[in-house]
Amino acid sequence: MATGSEAGKPAEVVLEWPKQDKKRMLHAVYRVGDLDRTIKCYTECFGMKLLRKRDVPEEKYTNAFLGFGPEDSNFALELTYNYGVDKYDIGAGFGHFAIAHEDVYKLAETIKSSSCCKITREPGPVKGGSTVIAFAPDPDGYMFELIQRGPTPEPLCQVMLRVGELDRSIMFYEKALGMKLLRKKDVPQYKYTIAMMGYAEEDKTTVLELTYNYGVTEYNKGNAYAQVLTRFFLHYFLFRFWHFLS
């Protein structure tokens, strides 16, 4: 709905907003138990940059924003440290973040040589395919998938979530947030289906990977993973995953 100065504009002008707006996912928000430890992992192991950091003593928390480029053009991770809280329950609804890299084997060696991260799935082709992947958890247990891919403007390329009803979730992202269903794949031999949702193609921006595991309709959401911020129709909308994962 138009407000303020836009309210007096002709309807045809207002309706042009969605066409002119550059919708994208801005950042993911989640909680960590040791902020400096996590920053060290993301910068030294994954190659991210610390974009900004702010302490809010009156509310007893500190934020740090990390990513592979400026926040006005790239997806970022917003880490929140709450004073005195050193552990969270990640839950089962959150799956992983994904980082695209031109040489996953080399990146895995960098991670293995560090003191802050480790590789839990060695680099190699994905089951039933040829794409080279690896997995590395951060110090709090958030999983990162490393995907071998050519040059991309957005290396922080995916956020994977598990959902209890795939078609309902697809409709939510399409109707409420204006995303597109980029592709959908059923893998019956492993009893799951995935849907990739986003505002542009997978090699151009950060996308959501929704995973439905056959017969699983509910997940423990934990208290660590909070929300994603998206830019949509010239406004900022916060949406919380527990609204549709239940």
- Mean of the per-residue pLDDT values for the chain? 87
13-27, 82-96, 128-142: least confident range? 13-27
Residue 6: inside a domain: no
The residue segments making up the domain with residue 70 are 17-230
Tokens of 111: 């991670």
pTM recorded for the entire structure: 0.85
Q: Which residues are annotated as a binding site for Zn(2+)?
A: 78, 96, 145
Domain presence at residue 222: yes
Question: What CATH number is given to the structural domain containing 165?
Answer: 3.10.180.10
Q: What is the predicted pLDDT for the residue at 195? A: 98
In a domain, 9, yes or no: no
Q: Does 236 have pLDDT greater than 60?
A: no
pLDDT in the model for residue 21? 60
Q: What is the pLDDT of residue 95?
A: 93
Domain contains 240:
no
Token digits of residue 165? 């009803």
Indicate which residue of 102, 109, 145, 165 is catalytic. 145
* 107 C-beta neighbours (distance < 10 Å), count: 21
- Which distant-in-sequence residues (6+ apart) come within 8 Å of 213 by Cβ? 162, 191, 192
- State the total domains in the chain: 1
Catalytic: 145?
yes
pLDDT band at 33 (very low <50, low <70, confident <90, very high): very high
Per-residue pLDDT reduced to its tens digit, 105-114: 999 999 999 9
11, part of any domain: no
Per-residue confidence (pLDDT) for residue 162, from 0 to 100: 95
Is residue 76 a contact partner of residue 26, using CB atoms and an 8 Å limit? yes
Residue 245 counted as domain residue: no
Q: Match 């542009």 to its residue by tokens.
A: 200
pLDDT tens figures, 143-181: 999 999 999 999 999 999 999 999 999 999 998 888 999
Q: What's the pLDDT at 119?
A: 97
**Does some domain include residue 4?**
no
- Asked if residue 12 is part of any domain, the answer here is no
Joined together, the tokens standing for residue 66 give: 């990390």
pLDDT in tens, 46-100: 999 999 999 999 999 999 999 999 999 999 999 999 999 999 999 899 999 999 9
